[in-house]
Amino acid sequence: MSELILLLRADADIQTAFERYEKWQEGRGVVFLRHLDAAFELLRAHPEIAPVFNHGHRRLLVAGFPFGIFYSVEGNRIVVAGVSDLRQDPDAILRRLGLD
């Protein structure tokens, strides 16, 4: 299994999404984290499962939520650059993640 590394930006994205979902409906943030954990486990087992999105970075969708995990595969490491809400301009996502 590959090692999963979250950049600080990705960790902040996850915290922000969790807080937003909890504010909207108590317990929904926990459900989001469970789906995110399932996606991370899938990535660890199959790092190249998601299609290439931009310049070698891949995007894996989070089941049940409008979020994508943006990551790159570097040897046996998966480096997560961000976890973004996909209901925004794709160019804005790329700029925010520094992938443009």
The full set of domain ranges for the chain reads: 3-97
Residue 2 clears pLDDT 90, i.e. is over it: no
Please identify which residue in the block is written with the tokens 């984290």.
33
Question: Does domain 3-97 sit in CATH 3.30.2310.20?
Answer: yes
What average pLDDT is seen over the chain? 94
C-alpha to C-alpha distance for 44 and 5, rounded to whole angstroms: 10
Distance CA 84, CA 77 (A): 20
The pLDDT confidence band at residue 54, using thresholds 50, 70 and 90, is confident
The more confidently predicted of residues 53 and 36 is 36
Q: Say whether 58 sits in a helix, a strand or coil.
A: strand
When comparing pLDDT for 93 and 66, which is higher?
66
Local confidence band at 91 (pLDDT 50, 70, 90 cut-offs): confident
